[in-house]
């Protein structure tokens, strides 16, 4: 602390002197603490950066360790105008022959008579599946528009939509089935009541190809008819799910007789190659960080922050050993080198693209096991290793806690230094204050004696003159 009063008696800059003496006493210890803090903070930062890089690398292993990542399926139709194909990860690979004889269609009925007398009653709609629902026509909806709205709004409607068209200036009711297939066909419309409401009665069984005096069937309810691999099948929908397990076929048109199209499900080798390339890139990024943190630069004569650090050296050695060494055997694959991935002089990996593509194409199952086997795969062994280092009880957490404790210890040392310097300053202040007081007293005495001697000299001078 600044001292302002001491030195008044002596006229000397004693407060500055005390401050300088205290600062000189503090400098060695303060410097040591500051240097130690800077070192700990640098080390803590480097450990944090390395931990973050290892965590990022581990995240990038997730796809490589997931067998489903190696099941990326591509699907192809030889004639997209006839049928399209989409396949999920579980779809079986292969080429399938498809012939389409007929597409599924939805029924459409157009009323042949109008409705003008506002007659009331109940309309009951029934389909081929045996589902039915009622629409009550009363004073509130006894119009063509009211009947259409009542059909569309009925909660138990099994899947038909009503609309109105004008034919020769007269409104006609049109009914569409919302879904394709024979099971969705309207088989009967029963009408109770008298008058024009009877114009809506319908019985498919008594019709001729769906037409009767009340309704014109402009589109019939039909099932799709097709054969896959020569096996005849039908479907109420043009969307065929799991006919090929894990795949969906969408029928769009018919084929010519004895002229099937081909549907192909295959593995996307390009996506798997990209997955391996991304792994190599991620490892090289990690390797580059290790080089920066742990190596010695002879040109600058400076070492990395973690040069010689046991933890960094250990994790680097174990990760590199797993990645570049031999592991579990999957066919002819026991190491990355078997698939054209080799180690360079700086520890990074390089890819022989031709050899890797050959491995992906010809040894796909072995490649999948090498990387993604649940227990023996490289990705999962790396993941287990990194878990041991990066978990809440792992080496990096322990090291971080230790460094933080050391930083807290420096705070205690600072507090101790501050306390010691305050005592030293107080002692210096007491000593110099005593000296200052003594000097002030001596100065006062000297001034008194000087004054007395001067008076004596004046008396003697006056006596001689007399």
Write the pLDDT tens digit of every residue in 398-434.
988 888 888 888 888 878 888 888 887 778 777 766 7
Q: Which of 1-10, 208-217, 226-235, 266-275 has the lowest mean pLDDT?
A: 1-10
Write the pLDDT tens digit of every residue in 294-303.
877 767 667 7
Write the pLDDT tens digit of every residue in 444-453.
676 667 776 7
Predicted pLDDT of residue 277: 95
C-alpha pair distances (Å), 234 with each of 84, 104, 221, 270, 345: 17, 9, 13, 36, 64
Could you tell me the pTM of the whole model? 0.59
Give the CA angle between residues 255, 261, 263 to the nearest 5°. 135
Write the pLDDT tens digit of every residue in 336-378.
999 999 999 999 999 999 999 999 888 888 999 999 999 899 9
131 pLDDT above the threshold of 60: yes
Domain 108-219: CATH class, spelled out: mainly beta
Q: How far is CA 426 from the centre of its chain?
A: 62
Predicted pLDDT of residue 1: 40
Predicted pLDDT of residue 330: 92
Q: What's the sign of the alpha-carbon dihedral 372, 376, 379, 385?
A: positive
Predicted pLDDT of residue 37: 80
DSSP letter string, 274-335: HHHHHHHHHHHHHHHHHHHHH-EETTTTEE-TTTT-HHHHHHHHHHHHHHHS----BTTBSS
What is the pLDDT averaged over residues 173-189?
97
d(CA 124, CA 201): 9
Q: What's the sign of the alpha-carbon dihedral 197, 200, 206, 208?
A: positive
186 pLDDT above the threshold of 70: yes
In which band, very low, low, confident or very high, does the pLDDT at 14 lie, cut at 50, 70 and 90? low
In which band, very low, low, confident or very high, does the pLDDT at 197 lie, cut at 50, 70 and 90? very high
In which band, very low, low, confident or very high, does the pLDDT at 392 lie, cut at 50, 70 and 90? confident
Phi, psi angles (nearest 5°) of residue 12? -95, 150
8 pLDDT above the threshold of 60: no
In which band, very low, low, confident or very high, does the pLDDT at 4 lie, cut at 50, 70 and 90? very low
The H-or-E segment that residue 122 falls in is strand 121-127
What percent of the chain has pLDDT above 90? 59
What is the pLDDT averaged over residues 34-49?
84
Which residues lie across from 333 on neighbouring strands? 330
- 158 versus 257: the higher-pLDDT residue is 158
In which band, very low, low, confident or very high, does the pLDDT at 10 lie, cut at 50, 70 and 90? low
What is the pLDDT averaged over residues 257-263?
94
In which band, very low, low, confident or very high, does the pLDDT at 462 lie, cut at 50, 70 and 90? low
d(CA 240, CA 82): 13
What is the pLDDT averaged over residues 115-132?
96
In which band, very low, low, confident or very high, does the pLDDT at 69 lie, cut at 50, 70 and 90? confident
Reported for 130-136, long-range contacts at CB under 8 A and 24+ positions apart, including other chains, are 131/158, 132/158, 133/157, 133/158
11 pLDDT above the threshold of 70: no
Reported for 361-365, long-range contacts at CB under 8 A and 24+ positions apart, including other chains, are 361/269, 363/331, 363/332, 363/333, 363/339, 364/70, 364/267, 364/269, 364/272, 365/330, 365/331
Phi, psi angles (nearest 5°) of residue 188? -145, 150
Mean pLDDT of the chain, nearest integer: 88
What is the pLDDT averaged over residues 104-128?
96
């Amino acid at each position: 602390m600044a001292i302002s009063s001491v030195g008044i008696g002596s006229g000397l800059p004693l407060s500055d002197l005390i401050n300088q003496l205290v600062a000189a006493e503090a400098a060695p210890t303060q410097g040591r603490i500051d240097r130690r803090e800077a070192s700990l903070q640098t080390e803590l930062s480097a450990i944090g950066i390395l931990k973050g890089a290892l965590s990022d690398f581990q995240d990038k292993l997730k796809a490589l360790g997931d067998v489903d990542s190696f099941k990326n399926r591509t699907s192809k139709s030889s004639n997209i105008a006839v049928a399209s194909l989409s396949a999920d990860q579980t779809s079986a690979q292969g080429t399938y022959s498809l012939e389409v004889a007929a597409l599924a269609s939805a029924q459409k009925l157009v009323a042949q008579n109008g409705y003008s007398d506002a007659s009331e009653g109940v309309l009951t709609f029934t389909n081929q599946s045996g589902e039915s629902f009622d629409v009550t026509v009363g004073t509130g909806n006894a119009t063509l528009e009211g009947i259409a709205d009542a059909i569309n709004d009925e909660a138990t409607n099994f899947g038909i939509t009503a609309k109105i068209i004008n034919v020769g200036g007269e409104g006609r009711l049109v009914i569409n089935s919302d879904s394709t297939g024979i099971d969705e066909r309207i088989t009967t419309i029963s009408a109770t009541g008298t008058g024009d409401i009877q114009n809506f009665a319908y019985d498919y069984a008594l019709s001729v190809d769906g037409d009767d005096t009340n309704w014109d069937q402009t589109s019939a309810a039909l099932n799709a008819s097709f054969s896959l691999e020569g096996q005849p099948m039908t479907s109420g929908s043009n969307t065929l799910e799991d006919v090929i397990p894990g795949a969906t076929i969408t029928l769009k048109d018919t084929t010519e007789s004895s002229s099937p199209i081909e549907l192909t499900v295959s593995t996307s080798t390009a996506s798997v190659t990209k997955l391996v390339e991304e792994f190599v890139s991620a490892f090289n990024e990690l390797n580059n960080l290790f080089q920066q943190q742990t190596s010695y630069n002879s040109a600058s004569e400076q070492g990395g922050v973690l040069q010689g650090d046991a933890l960094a050296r250990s994790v680097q050695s174990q990760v590199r050993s797993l990645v570049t060494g031999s592991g579990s055997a999957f066919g002819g694959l026991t190491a990355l080198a078997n698939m054209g991935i080799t180690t360079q002089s700086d520890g990074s990996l390089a890819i022989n693209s031709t050899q890797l593509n050959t491995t992906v194409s010809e040894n796909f199952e072995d490649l999948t096991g090498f990387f993604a086997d649940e227990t023996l795969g490289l990705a999962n062994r790396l993941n287990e290793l990194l878990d041991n280092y990066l978990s809440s009880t792992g080496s990096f957490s322990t090291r971080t806690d230790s460094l933080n404790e050391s930083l807290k210890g420096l705070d205690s040392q600072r507090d101790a230094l501050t306390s010691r310097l305050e005592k030293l300053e107080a002692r210096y202040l007491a000593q110099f204050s005593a000296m200052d007081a003594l000097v002030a007293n001596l100065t006062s005495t000297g001034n008194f004696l000087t004054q007395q001697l001067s008076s004596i000299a004046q008396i003697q001078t006056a006596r001689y003159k007399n």
